[in-house]
Amino acid sequence: MKLTLRLISRFFALIFVLNACSPADDIRPDDPELEKMIGQMLMTGFRGFEITEDDQVAKDIRDGRIGGVVLFDLDVALGFVPRNIESPEQVLALNNQLAALAGDIPLLISVDQEGGRVARLKEEYGFPPTVTQEYLGTLNNDDSTRFYGGRIAQTLLDHGFNQNLAPVVDVNINPESPAIGAIGRSFSEDEELVVHHAGLVIDEHRQRGLITTLKHFPGHGSATEDSHLGFTDVTDTWQASELIPYRRLIEQDRVDVIMTAHIFNANWDANYPATLSKNVMTGMLRNELGFEGVIITDDMNMGAITNHYGLEEAIHRTIYAGVDILIFANNLVYDEMIAVTAMDMILGLVEDGLLTRERIEESYQRIMLLKDALN
C-alpha cells in the first residue's frame, strides 16, 4: 500500500514538472501598460492611397502597436511605383482615416518635406512648388526662407500632417556628399547660416502647431558615402562645427525632435554607428548638449544598419543608446508585420533584462510631452 501511494505521488509530481516546463509556460504574460508604452516608440511606413479596417497598419494603430506613421510618394522596394501620395484631396482623406484610428493618444503623421529633391508632396501631384534648402541658404534672405518655410508648413497643416521630418541642419562640409550636399539638402557650409535659416523654418511650423525634426545628428554633411546604401565612416571627415546647429537651436528652445544619423566615427564609439551608440545619443546629445526632447531614428531599414546588424540587436542597441522612436519606413524593404515583430522583440528584451522598464518609461514620457503639445 505504501509503495502504491509512493508511486502515485511520484506520478503526480512528474506531471507537475512536465506542466511547469511545457511550452505554454513560455507564452509571455500580458502587460498592457508596457505594450502601450512600446507602441508609442514605433513609427512605420505602409502601402496604399487609402486604408481599410482590415489593413495591417489600421490594426497596428487601433491596437496601439505604433505611435506614428510616415508617408512616401514612391515605393522604392517595388521599383519607385506610387505609394501613398496621389493628390491633395486623397492625402487629406488618408490622413483623416489614420488620425481617426488613433484613439486618445494622437498619431504622429509625418513626411519628409524638406523642399526641392526631398519633397514627398510634389508639384506634379498638385501641391505647391518648393525649393531646396541650399537655394534658401545661398539666397540668404529671411523673407524668402519664411515664405517657403511657411508654404511647406501650411501645406502639411492643410493635408492632415502634424510632423515634418525636416529641416536638415547638416553643415555642407562636403558639397559632394551623396546624401546631403550633392542634392542640395544643406543650407550652407557656414554653420551660423544653417542655424539662422533652420530657425526661421522651425518658427513657421510652430506658428501652425506642427512638429519639426532636426536631422541628421551628429552631422552627415562631411560624409563621402550614403548611409541608405551601407556603412558610412566619417572618422576622418567629421568636424566639431557640425554640432553647432544642434547646440544653438537647443539653447534657443527651438527643437522638438532630433533624428539620428547612421554614421560611424571611431572617435565617438569604436563599435557602433551613432544611432546605436550610447556614447553619442546619451553622452553627446543628452549630457553634453542638454537635449531633453524626443530622439527619433533615421530609417532602421537603411543599409548602414541592416547590412551589419540583426533586427533584434539593432533594436536593443538603439533603445539602450537613448533613442525614443524607431522608424521602420518599409520603403527600402517591406514587412507589413514589422510592428508586431518589433513589439515582441522589445517585450522580450525587457523580460530578459537587456532593457529595463524604466528605460521604456523614459521614452514614453518624452513622447507624451511631445504629443501633449499637439493637443
Domains assigned to the chain: 44-374 (3.20.20.300)
pLDDT at 142 over 80: yes
Distance, CA of 14 to CA of 74 (rounded, Å): 59
**pLDDT of 165-188, one tens digit each?**
999 999 999 999 999 999 999 999
Distance, CA of 251 to CA of 246 (rounded, Å): 8
pLDDT, mean of residues 53-76: 97
pLDDT band at 20 (very low <50, low <70, confident <90, very high): very low
**pLDDT of 260-281, one tens digit each?**
999 999 999 999 999 999 999 9
Neighbours of 363 (CB within 10 A): 21
Q: What is the pLDDT of residue 225?
A: 65
Distance, CA of 22 to CA of 335 (rounded, Å): 31
pLDDT band at 29 (very low <50, low <70, confident <90, very high): low
Burial 147-174 (b: 16+ CB within 10 A, else e): ebbbbbbbbbeebbbbbbbbbbbbbbbb
Higher pLDDT, 112 or 5: 112
pLDDT at 138 over 50: yes
Distance, CA of 175 to CA of 365 (rounded, Å): 39
Q: Quote the cell numbers at residue 111.
A: 513626411
For the ranges 101-105, 115-119, 178-182, 302-306, which has the lowest average pLDDT?
Answer: 302-306
Q: Which residues contact 345 (CB under 8 A, 6 or more apart)?
A: 311, 312, 315, 316
pLDDT at 14 over 60: no
**pLDDT of 278-329, one tens digit each?**
999 999 999 999 999 999 999 999 988 999 999 999 999 999 999 999 999 9
pLDDT at 7 over 60: no
